[in-house]
Amino acid sequence: MLGALFGRRKPALSQAERFAMATQLQLTWWRFKRHKVAMVSLFIVALFYVIALGADFLATTDPHATDARTSYIAPQPIHFFEADGSFSPHVYGLKGVRDPRTFKLVYTVDPSRHVAIDFFAPGYSYTFLGIPTTTHLFALRNPERGDGIFILGTDQLGRDIWSRLMVATRVSLTIGLVGVSISLFLGVLLGGISALYGGIVDTLIQRTIEVIRSMPTIPLWLGLAAALPNDWSVTQVYFSITIIISLLAWTDLARVVRGKFLALREEEFVMAAELAGASTGRIIFRHMLPSFLSHIIAAVSLALPAMIISETSLSFLGLGLRPPAISWGILLQDAQSIQSLALAPWLLAAAVPVILVILAFNFLGDGLRDAADPYG
Amino acid sequence: MVEPILSEPILSVRGLHTSFAAQEGTVRAVDGVSFNVFEGRTLGVVGESGCGKSVTARSILGIVERPGRVTGGEILLRPGDGGAPVDLLKLSPDAMRKVRGREIGLVFQEPMASFSQYYTIGNQIGEGIRLHLGLDAKAARERAIELLDMVGVPQPSRRVDEYPFQLSGGLRQRVMIAMALSCDPRVLIADEPTTALDVTTQAQILDLLRELQEKKGLAIILITHDMGVIAEMAHDVAVMYLGRAVETGPVRDIFRAPRHPYTRALLRSIPTVLAKPRSRLPTIEGSIPHPFNRPQGCAYHPRCVEIIDDQCRTEEPPEAGPETHRIRCFLHGGHKGAVA
Amino acid sequence: MITFMVRRLLLGLFTVWLISMLAFAIIQLPPGDFVDSYIANLAAGGATVSADEANAMRKLYGMGQPIYVQYGKWIVRVIAGDLGESMEWRRPVAEVIGDRIWLTLLLSFAALLVTWSLALPIGIYSAVRQYSLADYVFTLVGFIGIAVPNFLLALIILYTAFRYLGMSVGGLFSAEYALAPWTWDKVKDLAWHLPLPALILALSGTAQLIRIMRANLLDELRKPYVVTARAKGLSEMRTVLKYPVRAALNPFASNIAYLFPYLVSGSIIISIVLGLPTVGPLLVRALIAQDVYLGGAIVLLLGVLTVIGTFISDLVLMWVDPRLRHQLD
């Protein structure tokens, strides 16, 4: 069974001609489609980016709204049917109970009070692609103060973890994208220059890469991240952190680009283009780039999870994004101590998307890398 | 040239089948090959790339790699003590290991890639000696030096401690031969031994092989795609096409009177100094079919210029001709209509 | 060979110099000088500091002079062994760091050993028995090892051990040895505590190296020299171990050199989760509190030690590769 999952197959011979005429990207895609795990991963990654896009729509409660009453509420399932079997989605309400020893008011779930759920119902206001709206996938019909749909429970400050997770997904995934874009730019630029000019420039860039690779990255990230002024806005910190991460992450991409570039330069079709008098620019963009585009795509999809881990780690340590920003790392920061974990294990919920996305990106990257050598 | 000695062959391959199981289907890389190898004589196995020459060699040594598998036939080796021939395909893995390197040596196409770059050549030659002849490290080294001297490596006692990457291509191939002969095997399989070398070195290596054959009475299976090498070295020839031996016989017969259309085409495509200047070198029409698309009937029929009729397209020609010169072609037997 | 060594050494020194600049940047980058933050800190506590006192303090730390003078002064002091004062702890940085730097190295090195001893045999097995059940299992475990960031793994193990075994798995020492001077018993206690964090730290690197080893070995297994070895009559085991494994070991070994900085990095973050007495928690606290000399010193020390570790593994690599030994003469 696993064999079929991981197996790769060559295209059937009836397509021999199509195969011979196809571009590199088409070949890669055909071959990639046969890699089932990678296809599933592609679907998961796509799903996550859809979530990132519709984060607020999927959220049920304002992710920043705190409420002392709802502190550490355990995950609440959505009940779809009433006791009599009629369809009526609802959650249980909350009630205050006085602790018999401390006399403090604590809030617990009250199964006797049902709060109905509406779909495509109004909730907190947000903007979707610039359009202000209040529509959410689901919301409570007549909530009393403190009521909420706590699918994944709440944190210490009574914020709904599901809603925070949705918004965090957007932040963490886009940091990965922006970071990879910067790394890709640096990697292609420096890797390309290194291969194209050779000599002293090449040596210099290669030594720089070696130096960066031989440095322990986390202490350096931490040091640089700690130097960001405390009074910077969430957006400023977001972009600074992204830049800090990509500054040390472009080296692998540069190595891939340089390696492919050098290998391709020896290929006969490039020599043929040179002899035919094509300009350097034309050779690079018309002949060489299409041949290693799929390799770059594969390298990018392997660099993305590393970016996401970096951001998550930095934020987890309290030196990356800072509250009120919400990211997976910030959510996990709440789960840092065993005391809070023992009290509210659902704080670890953010671990699931982290692992899932990184796994999916790795399988995707692997599938792409295998597919990038369609004739191999 | 020596006339065929009709004595017992030292190695006799009978109806060998080796196939590779791929997801698209099974590739019959070797599909019923038969030939004999005699002491002191060279059998040249010739054919275009992909015809199953190398797989035949590996099948004999029992080192076909997965997903390949020998699926049928016999490989009979006459033991050194004159006993009854042993079928190598029926030997246990342990017993087969005692044949490899000890009874049958292998020389390979790429002298660079055929050595590990991490051990000295002395180490790599001595390994088989210690394994098969039971010598200790010191004695194995001594023998390695003797072998290097025998194959004409200068300063053998210094070279023995060098690494393969420190040698030239020609020297490496000499070392390869020394390694293949380290345990005095009676059969030597040389798989394209000179393809990767320049012409002068080629001639030297072929001279060396001939010299060693005369000295030791070696039976050599020489695998090549080069008809020139065959003409120079071989006593007998097996011409292979798509996993089959289409014509086997003494080299003189094959060169003087080739019978199979494929053999004729191969011989026509050799450049010679006698050819008319600036004339086109004849080539064989078409290319070898993909192994998955093996043609029906005679596998050569789509390229054959002497095709008779539909029988070529539908039936496989049987082996025919005299004992010493076998041909698989309807022109020479098995045709239902008029026989040429 | 000598040129190779010298080149590596020069590159190492260059890296150290770069790291020292970065460490100094970390000291300099926070807005305002740290006397300001120190005074602000005191003021928040209700105490007041006069301008004279503040200036005396600035002079003590060489502030107000041009950057390169400050860097020069700092580097000279560092080379002389004076890493400065920790603002927060009000003790010399060297004293605050103490054993922690060695425990960091010990943990990273232990993780390196774990990585080697797991990745090598598993990688070989997966390649030789490609597409076997065990190969798929290792591949899957490997992917999980890559996908779970090690701090998350530490968290999950911490929680699982606490929840289901009622155990606290953090720390490198039992409570009674934590502050005790070094004795034989304390070493034994450390040896008892070390494997789990080392394993957690090693997992993702191990997973990557298994993949590298497997891929390299699969490549090597297809090379002609393997056929040569088989044709000699060597047993399959001997053939594989002597030839292709030996060749696959080389890229594997050069990856080890890059693994060390990676492990040192990882040790910082898992130390915080598992409460290990390494420089990790110290560094993060120093950076958050802008205790710049302590933070800078830790970054510098980690960087320098990593460069030394990488240099040593380069030397080992050169020693095991005959081509490097002979061709670079």
Q: Is the pLDDT score of B175 beyond 80? A: yes
SS (H, E, C) chain B: CCCCCCCCCCEEEEEEEEEEEECCEEEEEEEEEEEEECCCCEEEEECCCCCCHHHHHHHHHCCCCCCEEEEEEEEEECCCCCCCCEEHHHCCHHHHHHHECCCEEEECCCCCCCCCCCCCHHHHHHHHHHHHHCCCHHHHHHHHHHHHHHCCCCCHHHHCCCCHHHCCHHHHHHHHHHHHCCCCCCEEEEECCCCCCCHHHHHHHHHHHHHHHHHHCCEEEEEECCHHHHHHHCCEEEEEECCEEEEEEEHHHHHHCCCCHHHHHHHHCCCCCCCCCCCCCCCCCCCCCCHHHCCCCCCCHHHCCCCCCHHHHHCCCCEECCCCCEEECHHHCCCCCCCC
> Are the Cβ atoms of C149 and A6 closer than 8 angstroms?
no
CB A326 within 8 A of CB A320: no
Query: Does the residue C197 lie in any domain?
Result: yes
Residue C204: inside a domain: yes
> H helices of chain C, where?
2-28, 34-44, 51-60, 67-79, 93-97, 100-128, 133-147, 150-165, 175-178, 184-193, 195-221, 224-231, 236-242, 244-274, 279-288, 292-320, 322-327
State the chains in contact with B (3 or more Cβ–Cβ pairs under 8 Å). Answer: A, C
Contact indicator for C260, B146 with CB cutoff of 8 Å? no
In this prediction, residues B162-190 reach a mean pLDDT of: 89
| CA pair distance C83, C91, nearest whole angstrom | 11
Q: What is the predicted pLDDT for the residue at C93?
A: 85
- Number of structural domains in chain C: 1
If you ran DSSP here, which 8-state letter would residue A74 be given?
A: P
Burial of C32 (0-12, 13-18, 19+ CB in 10 A): exposed
Residue C199 included in any domain = yes
Is the separation of the CB atoms in C294 and C86 below 8 Å? yes
In this structure, the strands spanning A87-98 and A79-81 are antiparallel
Q: Is the CB of residue B21 less than 8 Å away from at least one CB of chain A?
A: no
- As a whole number, mean pLDDT of residues B219-247 equals 89
For residue C326, what are the contacts with CB-CB under 8 A and spacing of at least 6? B163, B165, B166
Report the pLDDT value the prediction gives residue B43, as an integer from 0 to 100: 93
Nearest to B222 by CA among B209, B203, B212, B211: B209
Asked if residue C4 belongs to a domain, the reply is no
- Measured CA to CA, the distance from residue A122 to residue A61 in angstroms comes to 11
What pLDDT, in 10s, does the model give residues A54-80? 888 888 888 888 887 778 888 888 888
Q: What percent of chain B has pLDDT over 70?
A: 94
Q: Which of B8, B59, B11 is nearest to B219 (CA)?
A: B11
Nearest CA in chain A to C145: A359
Report the chain B residue with the minimal C-alpha distance to residue A7. Answer: B23
Selection from A25, A33, A46, A7 nearest residue A360 by Cα: A46
Q: Which two tokens stand for residue B215?
A: 């000295």
Ranges A88-102, A182-196, C192-206, C224-238: which has the least confidence? A88-102
Question: Measured between alpha carbons, how far is C207 from C119 in angstroms, rounded to an integer?
Answer: 7
Q: Are B213 and B221 in contact (CB under 8 A)?
A: no
A217 touches chain C (CB under 8 A): yes
Span C151-160, pLDDT tens digits: 888 888 888 8
**How far apart are the C-alpha atoms of C199 and B111, rounded to whole Å?**
44
- Alpha carbon distances (Å) from A194 to A186, A187, A213: 12, 10, 17
Rounded-to-integer distance, Cα C238 and Cα C245, Å: 10
Neighbours of C14 (CB within 10 A): 15
pLDDT over threshold 80, residue C102: yes
Q: Does C135 touch chain B (CB under 8 A)?
A: no
B292 touches chain A (CB under 8 A): yes
Top-confidence residue, A106 or B193 = B193
Q: Is the predicted pLDDT of residue C29 greater than 90, yes or no?
A: no
Summarize the confidence of residues C304-315 as an average pLDDT: 81
Residue bearing tokens 């009393």: A144
The mean pLDDT of C98-122, rounded to a whole number, is 89
C295 lies in some domain: no
C130 in contact with B, Cβ within 8 Å: no
Q: Which residue of C has its CA nearest to B180?
A: C232
Contact yes or no for C281/C101 (Cβ under 8 A): no
Mean pLDDT to the nearest integer, B83-103? 88
Tally the residues of chain A. 376
Q: In what order do the strands lie in the sheet with A79-81?
A: A79-81, A87-98, A105-128, A131-140
Size of the B and C interface in Cβ pairs below 8 Å: 76
Task: Indicate yes or no: CB of A312 within 8 angstroms of CB of C149.
Answer: yes
What average pLDDT does this structure show over B226-233? 87
* pLDDT at residue number A18: 60
Query: What residues in C contact A222, CB-CB < 8 Å?
Result: 268, 283-284, 287, 299
Is C153 among the domain residues? yes
Tell me which residue range forms the domain holding C246.
Answer: 101-288
- Residue C38: band (very low, low, confident or very high) from pLDDT cuts 50, 70, 90: low
Neighbouring subunits of C (3+ Cβ pairs under 8 A): A, B
Residue A343 Cα distances to A334, C154, C163, angstroms: 12, 18, 11
**What pLDDT is attached to residue A4?**
42
Q: If you write DSSP's letter for every residue of A198-219 in order, what string do you get? A: -HHHHHHHHHHHHHHHTS-HHH
**Token duo for residue B168:** 């030239």
Residue C248 contacts residue C216 (beta carbons within 8 Å): yes
The confidence score (pLDDT) of residue C55 equals 77
**Pairs from B79-88 (Cβ < 8 Å, separation ≥ 24):** B80/B186, B85/B8, B85/B12, B88/B60, B88/B62
> What pLDDT was estimated at residue B11?
92
Give whole-number Cα distances, A206 to A190, A219, A249, C8, in Å.
9, 23, 14, 13
Question: Residue C202 maps to which CATH number?
Answer: 1.10.3720.10
According to DSSP, the β-strands at B219-224 and B187-191 are: parallel
The reported pLDDT for the residue numbered B256 is 87
> What's A106's DSSP letter?
E
- Pairwise CA distance, residues B121 & B147, whole Å: 11
- Separation between Cα atoms, residue C48 and residue C36, nearest integer Å: 12
Q: Is the pLDDT assigned to residue C208 strictly greater than 80?
A: yes
SS3 call for A72? coil
* Distance (Å, whole) CA C297 – CA C283: 9
How far is B58 from B191, CA to CA, in rounded Å? 10
B143 — pLDDT class (breaks 50, 70, 90): very high
For residue C139, report the phi and psi dihedrals to the nearest 5 degrees. Answer: -60, -45
Q: Which residues pair with A93 in a beta bridge?
A: A110
Q: Do the beta carbons of residue A108 and residue A95 sit within 8 Å?
A: yes
Structure tokens at C298: 């830790």
pLDDT at residue B125, rounded to an integer: 92
Average pLDDT, chain B: 85
| Neighboring chain A residues of C147 at a CB cutoff of 8 Å | 305, 355, 358-359, 362
Residue whose C-alpha is closest to residue A325's, from A243, A224, A238, A221: A238
In a domain, C165, yes or no: yes
User: What proportion of chain B, given as a percentage, has pLDDT over 90?
Assistant: 23
In this complex, is the C-beta atom of C312 within 8 Å of any C-beta atom belonging to chain A? no
Contact A12 B292 (CB under 8 A): no
**Please, which pLDDT band fits residue B158 given cuts at 50, 70 and 90?**
very high
pLDDT of residue A279: 80
Task: Evaluate if residue A371 carries a pLDDT over 80.
Answer: no
pLDDT exceeds 60 at position A7: no
Q: Do B113 and C227 touch (CB under 8 A)?
A: no
Helix (H) or strand (E) run with residue A52 in it: helix A36-53
Query: What are the phi and psi torsion angles at A325 (to 5°)?
Result: -60, 150
Average pLDDT for residues C277-294, to the nearest whole number?
Answer: 85
Distances, alpha carbon B15 to alpha carbons A50, B32, B36, B324, in Å? 62, 4, 11, 16
* Least Cα separation, residue A266 to chain B (angstroms): 21
* pLDDT for A44: 93
CB contact under 8 A, A219 and C148: no
Eight-state DSSP code of residue C278? S
Q: For residues B142 and A82, what is the distance between their CA atoms, to the nearest angstrom? A: 92
CB distance C247–B116 less than 8 Å?
Answer: yes
Which tens digit of pLDDT belongs to each residue from B18-63? Answer: 988 876 678 888 888 888 899 899 999 998 877 888 889 989 998 8
Using the predicted structure, report yes or no on whether residue C18 has a pLDDT greater than 90. no
Residue A228 has pLDDT above 50, yes or no: yes
Kindly state the helix (H) or strand (E) to which residue A91 belongs, with its residue range.
strand A87-98
Average pLDDT over residues A124-131: 84
Calpha distance C152→C140 (Å, rounded)? 18
* Residue A10 pLDDT level (bands cut at 50, 70, 90): very low
C4: which 2 tokens? Answer: 């190779």
Across the interface, whether the CB atoms of B23 and A13 are under 8 A apart is answered no
Helix, strand, coil % (nearest 5) of chain A?
60, 15, 25
* Mean pLDDT, residues B242-268 taken together: 87
Of A252-261, A364-373, B8-17, C31-40, minimum mean pLDDT range? C31-40
Q: What is the pLDDT of residues B120-138, one digit of tens each?
A: 999 999 998 998 988 899 9
Higher per-residue confidence, A303 vs C46: A303
What pLDDT is recorded for position C46? 64
Residue B238, beta-bridge partner list: B45, B248
pLDDT given for residue A17 in this prediction: 56
Confirm if C102 and C90 have CB atoms less than 8 A apart: no
Q: What is the pLDDT of residue C62?
A: 65
HEC secondary structure over A145-172: CCCCCCCCCECCCCCEHHHHHHHHHHHH
Amino acid A5: pLDDT: 41
- Strand-pairing partners, residue B189, are B106, B221
Residues in chain B: 340
Q: pLDDT value at position B223?
A: 92
Residue A22 has pLDDT above 70, yes or no: no
Peptide bond before residue B318 is cis, with ω within 30 degrees of 0: no
Closest-CA distance, A221 to chain C, in angstroms, reads 10
Which of B117-131, B142-156, C241-255, C265-279 has the least mean pLDDT? C241-255
Q: For residue C111, what pLDDT band results from cuts at 50, 70 and 90?
A: very high
Q: Would the CB atoms of A355 and C310 count as touching at under 8 Å?
A: no
pLDDT of C215 higher than 80: yes
Which has the closest alpha carbon to B36: B69, B6, B59, B79? B6
pLDDT of residue C30: 65
Average pLDDT over residues C183-200: 87
